[in-house]
């Protein structure tokens, strides 16, 4: 049983990425409340070594076995040995750290469907999951959420989570879901009317299909308000990121899809909203700084001081709202379609999107091909109920093969 009043031992998966680095900054500022006990990165061994030394972390893993065999990787292995810790390479090594590191909390900031297994193993082992990897729920929400609810039932009651949402076993890090989570504290499902998931609109807001026919990866990576990794930034440009968040919100908060709306809010000052049966709306506002939701996931049910800039309503100016154009940003409509169908279709959709985004970043397909690839793979997929992690990983693999075949024939 986790003592939530004590200093939390935190394992960070994806520690050298944007979310991971900001999670470490939270720990840096609250050393009496957060102790980093394990770090996992993909390829950036030199940065991982610097993190391990700064935070005195003995347990480390590198997802890419080739990166582990570099000079920095070998130095990282010596560091772990000198500290009598664990060092491993490959996907299984990161999973093993969930037990080896002695963590209470796992920050899952891995990118893509590879984060699914880590989320599953975290909850199976009775650890608290601070979730930034939205694909865990997009692909495996039918498997992950029952684990979270069962784990919640074994905790003493703490905090005032909504009766239908995770009470602490799983706390979302995404700014949108962290906002909804906070707006729902103490509320009841039978009084919920709609969830409003906000979107900045990305770098191509207001563009037509003709405008987008020849955009480059550099164009798509120029996000107007958020500083994120390349995959999530491309997803933001297609609005697939918002589609993934809709599916994630469905699983996290139990809301049907016809009660989850996406609204474009270009200033990114409103991180999401909840509307209730009487017409009242709760909105979560704040600076565009991911350390706020990351810290709340680690501090919940408490709030700690942060160094982030405060939102000054006197200078904020106008707040704009608009509807997303799904005739241009087709990925959002495809995500709704996959979510409503449920079962294994979201896994196939997500896999196709990951393959297409990687191809676009490599210059191997156009921006418009991303939605085309996802549509083609979804249309060919035979949907079944989602029953296990193993089944979903098989679906993921087959869908990736189908996506590569589609793109190779373009």
Per-residue pLDDT of 271-325, as tens digits, reads 999 999 999 999 999 888 999 999 999 998 889 998 888 888 888 888 999 999 9
Per the CB < 8 A criterion, the answer to whether 174 and 199 are in contact is: no
Tell me: pLDDT of 166 over 80.
no
Can you list the alpha helix ranges (DSSP code H) found in 62-160? 65-68, 71-82, 91-100, 115-124, 135-154
Across the range 190-196, mean pLDDT stands at: 95
Report residue 155's pLDDT band, with 50, 70 and 90 as the boundaries: low
Closest CA to 105 of 89, 122, 82, 86: 122
Report residue 259's pLDDT band, with 50, 70 and 90 as the boundaries: very high
Across the range 27-47, mean pLDDT stands at: 96
Across the range 166-188, mean pLDDT stands at: 88
pLDDT tens string 83-116: 999 999 998 999 999 999 999 999 999 988 889 9
* Separation CA 112–CA 366 (nearest Å): 20
Residue 84's region, left for phi above 0, alpha for psi from -120 to 50, else beta, is left
pLDDT of residue 162: 46
By the 10 Å C-beta count (0-12 exposed, 13-18 middle, 19+ buried), 277 is classed as: exposed
* Separation CA 242–CA 254 (nearest Å): 17
Report residue 156's pLDDT band, with 50, 70 and 90 as the boundaries: low
Computed over every residue of the chain, the mean pLDDT equals 92
Phi, psi of 283, deg, nearest 5:
-120, 140
Tell me: pLDDT of 2 over 60.
no
State both tokens at 299: 């501090």
pLDDT tens string 226-253: 667 899 899 999 999 999 999 999 999 9
Helix (H) or strand (E) holding 275: strand 270-276
């Amino acid at each position: 049983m986790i003592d939530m009043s004590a200093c939390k031992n935190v394992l960070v998966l994806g520690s050298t990425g944007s979310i991971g680095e900001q999670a470490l900054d939270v720990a840096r500022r609250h050393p009496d409340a957060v102790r980093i006990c394990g770090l996992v990165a993909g390829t950036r061994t030199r940065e991982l070594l610097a993190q391990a030394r700064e935070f005195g972390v003995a347990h480390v893993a590198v997802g890419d076995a080739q990166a582990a065999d570099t000079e920095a990787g070998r130095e990282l292995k010596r560091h772990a040995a000198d500290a009598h810790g664990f060092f491993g390479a490959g996907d299984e090594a990161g999973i093993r750290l969930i037990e080896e590191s002695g963590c209470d909390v796992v920050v899952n900031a891995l990118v893509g469907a590879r984060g699914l297994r880590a989320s599953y193993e975290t909850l199976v082992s009775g650890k608290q999951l601070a979730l930034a990897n939205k694909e865990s729920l997009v692909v495996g929400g039918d498997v992950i959420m029952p684990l979270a609810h069962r784990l919640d039932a074994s905790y003493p009651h703490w905090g005032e989570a909504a009766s239908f949402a995770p009470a602490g076993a799983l706390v979302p890090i995404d700014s949108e879901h962290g906002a909804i989570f906070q707006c729902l504290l103490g509320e009841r499902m039978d009084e919920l009317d709609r969830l409003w998931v906000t979107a900045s609109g990305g770098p191509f807001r207001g563009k037509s299909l003709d405008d987008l026919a020849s955009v480059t990866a550099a164009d798509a990576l120029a996000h107007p308000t958020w500083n994120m990794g390349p995959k999530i930034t491309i997803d933001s440009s297609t609005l697939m990121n918002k589609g993934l968040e809709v599916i994630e919100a469905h699983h996290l908060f139990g809301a049907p899809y016809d009660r989850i709306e996406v609204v474009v809010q270009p200033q990114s000052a409103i991180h999401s909203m909840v509307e209730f049966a009487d017409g009242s709306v709760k909105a979560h506002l704040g600076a565009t700084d991911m350390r706020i939701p990351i810290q709340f996931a680690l501090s919940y049910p408490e709030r700690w001081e942060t160094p982030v800039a405060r939102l000054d309503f006197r200078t904020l100016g106008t707040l704009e709202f608009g509807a997303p154009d799904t005739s241009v940003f087709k990925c959002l409509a495809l995500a709704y379609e996959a979510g409503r169908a449920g079962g294994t279709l979201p896994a196939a959709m997500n896999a196709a999107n990951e393959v297409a985004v990687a191809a676009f970043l490599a210059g191997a397909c156009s921006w418009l091909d991303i939605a085309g690839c996802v549509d083609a793979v979804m249309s060919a997929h035979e949907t079944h109920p989602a029953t296990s992690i193993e089944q979903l990983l098989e679906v993921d693999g087959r869908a990736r093969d189908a996506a590569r075949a589609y793109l190779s024939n373009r």
